[in-house]
């Protein structure tokens, strides 16, 4: 009898492992087993993408998967330790400490390489521009410790103006590079297939000015080759590549391109598709995966120019979309910022028909309602900031900016 039990246990284990592996055998599985395999694949996909490539000292690592499995983390290499699911630098760690983690759940495990451990986060640097015209369409920077009180850098004056292309720098965003530096990306006006890119090691000086052609046709996907708006990017440690997210109204939506070096890029792929024209997608990591805030670009604008929410396990799986989450006025250019002084999230929007910049707050970015904060709760002493982007920073990074641009 025991031999028979061992035989059937072995057969079931082989079937289970086969169905969950890539290239599973043909044929239908029993419904319960198929569901379990699907859940296992989904859980692994979540774990692969549940942390960013750049982690901060005192970052809380996820304790559970959305399916409820416990996660157990271990430092494989790097001058760091984990205490109560909190990642902490050890004495002697570098400012940008290379890190490798392992994580285990149930009978599965993953090795996570290509990670960097930073000092503790103290606030955000916000990149923005301030309106139409080349004197206003250039990079400006501000900073905040808590989200609602902002401080000027360089007295709200531009710190970078293009010398090539359209010379109209709009929608600036900043991506951390895996070498510890940064790359600034920005829209080139309205009708161009390319975006601006600049490299910087400290966010003070910028070099290697270039344009990257994003809107390009390939054999199986015709594009307008006319617009590339609102670029945002991040480094994906699983793919060991950069992902650039951008919009084109003429092509009906939000796309992404990949790049190994932020100098050459792939052909575009459609990122998300709710069934109508969208632009200005921005993505944040949330407990169940990622949450995107997106602008509805349908006509007439008076009825549809609102923001709504999309969710998925990872940046490439956003497929569940909500109704508008803020519909008081026409808005665009959403910026997500996790609150530091309390639980919750801020979403800033450009209320462009009224020339206002509004802040919304929610304690649950994935599912909660967004409440507009009164202007009296904000201190944003900037001239008409538009389409901002928020970069989490350490004290050393912020101090270098404050020293260079009179930010005290």
Do 63 and 73 form a contact (C-beta atoms < 8 A)? Answer: no
Task: Kindly report, residue by residue over 206-249, the tens digit of the pLDDT.
Answer: 999 999 999 999 999 999 999 999 999 999 999 999 999 999 99
What pLDDT shows up at residue 403?
A: 96
Euclidean distance between CA atoms 270 and 221, whole angstroms? 10
What pLDDT shows up at residue 5?
A: 40
Q: Which of 118, 145, 167 is the last residue of a domain?
A: 118
Q: Which residues pair with 196 in a beta bridge?
A: 186, 211
What pLDDT shows up at residue 353?
A: 81
Among 216, 235, 178, 171, residue whose Cα is nearest residue 197: 171
DSSP of 227-249, one letter per residue? Answer: --EEEEEEEETTTTEEEEEEEET
Euclidean distance between CA atoms 391 and 124, whole angstroms? 5
Do 339 and 365 form a contact (C-beta atoms < 8 A)? Answer: no
What pLDDT shows up at residue 352?
A: 86
φ, ψ at 325 (rounded to 5°): -100, -5
For the beta carbon of residue 31, count every other beta carbon within 10 angstroms.
Answer: 8
Query: Are 91 and 239 in a shared domain?
Result: no
Query: Are 127 and 111 in a shared domain?
Result: no
What pLDDT shows up at residue 12?
A: 37
Query: Are 246 and 106 in a shared domain?
Result: no
Which residues touch 378 (CB under 8 Å, ≥6 apart)? Answer: 148, 149, 359
Query: Are 110 and 146 in a shared domain?
Result: no
φ, ψ at 159 (rounded to 5°): -115, -5
φ, ψ at 201 (rounded to 5°): -95, -15
Query: Are 126 and 228 in a shared domain?
Result: yes
What pLDDT shows up at residue 305?
A: 83
Among 249, 250, 252, 349, residue whose Cα is nearest residue 293: 349
Do 226 and 215 form a contact (C-beta atoms < 8 A)? Answer: yes
User: In terms of residue numbers, what domain contains 106?
Assistant: 2-118
* Dihedral-angle region of residue 333 (phi above 0 means left; psi in -120 to 50 means alpha; beta otherwise): left
What pLDDT shows up at residue 298?
A: 84
Euclidean distance between CA atoms 117 and 86, whole angstroms? 12
Question: Which token pair is 200?
Answer: 């910087």
Element (H, E) at 2: helix 2-20
What pTM, to 2 d.p., does this model score? 0.89
Do 235 and 168 form a contact (C-beta atoms < 8 A)? Answer: no
Query: Are 279 and 348 in a shared domain?
Result: yes
Total domains present in the chain: 2
For the beta carbon of residue 218, count every other beta carbon within 10 angstroms.
Answer: 11
Q: State the CATH number of the domain containing residue 53.
A: 2.60.40
What pLDDT shows up at residue 355?
A: 81
What pLDDT shows up at residue 406?
A: 87
Query: Are 157 and 90 in a shared domain?
Result: no
Q: Which of 86, 118, 150 is the last residue of a domain?
A: 118
Do 243 and 53 form a contact (C-beta atoms < 8 A)? Answer: no
Q: Which of 118, 139, 171 is the last residue of a domain?
A: 118
Ranges of residues in the chain whose predicted pLDDT is under 50: 1-37
Query: Are 131 and 239 in a shared domain?
Result: yes
């Amino acid at each position: 009898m025991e031999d028979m039990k061992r035989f059937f246990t072995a057969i079931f284990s082989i079937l289970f492992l086969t169905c969950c592996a890539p290239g599973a055998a043909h044929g239908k599985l029993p419904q319960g087993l198929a569901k379990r395999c699907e859940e296992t694949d989904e859980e692994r996909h979540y774990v692969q993408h549940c942390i960013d490539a750049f982690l901060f000292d005192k970052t809380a690592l996820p304790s559970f998967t959305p399916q409820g499995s416990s996660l157990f983390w271990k430092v494989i290499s790097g001058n760091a330790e984990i205490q109560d699911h909190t990642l902490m630098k050890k004495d002697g760690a570098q400012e940008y400490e290379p890190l490798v983690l392992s994580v285990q759940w149930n009978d599965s495990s993953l090795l996570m390489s290509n990670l960097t451990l930073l000092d503790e986060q103290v606030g955000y640097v916000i990149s923005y521009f301030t309106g139409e015209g080349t004197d206003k369409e250039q990079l400006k920077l501000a900073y905040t410790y808590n989200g609602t009180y902002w401080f000027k850098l360089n007295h709200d004056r531009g710190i970078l103006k293009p010398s090539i292309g359209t010379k109209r720098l709009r929608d600036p965003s900043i991506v951390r590079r895996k070498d510890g530096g940064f790359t600034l990306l920005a829209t080139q006006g309205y009708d161009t297939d390319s975006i601006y890119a600049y490299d910087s090691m400290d966010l003070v000086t910028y070099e290697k000015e270039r344009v990257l052609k994003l809107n390009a046709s390939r054999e199986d996907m015709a594009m307008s080759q006319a617009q590339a708006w609102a670029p945002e990017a991040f480094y994906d440690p699983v793919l060991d590549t950069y992902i650039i997210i951008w919009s084109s109204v003429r092509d009906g939506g939000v796309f992404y391109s990949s790049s190994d070096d932020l100098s050459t890029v792939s052909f575009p792929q459609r990122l998300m598709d709710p069934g109508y024209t969208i632009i200005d997608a921005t993505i944040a990591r949330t407990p169940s995966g990622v949450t995107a805030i997106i602008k509805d670009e349908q006509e007439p604008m008076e009825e549809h120019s609102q923001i709504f929410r999309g969710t998925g396990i990872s940046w490439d799986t956003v497929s569940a979309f909500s109704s508008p989450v803020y519909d008081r006025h026409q808005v665009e250019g959403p910026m997500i910022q996790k609150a530091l002084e309390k639980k919750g999230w801020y979403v800033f929007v450009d209320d462009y028909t009224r020339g206002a910049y509004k802040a919304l707050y929610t304690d649950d970015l994935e599912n909660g309602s967004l409440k507009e904060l009164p202007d009296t709760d904000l201190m944003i002493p900037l001239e008409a900031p538009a389409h901002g982007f928020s970069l989490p920073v350490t004290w050393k990074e912020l101090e270098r900016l404050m020293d260079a641009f009179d930010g005290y």
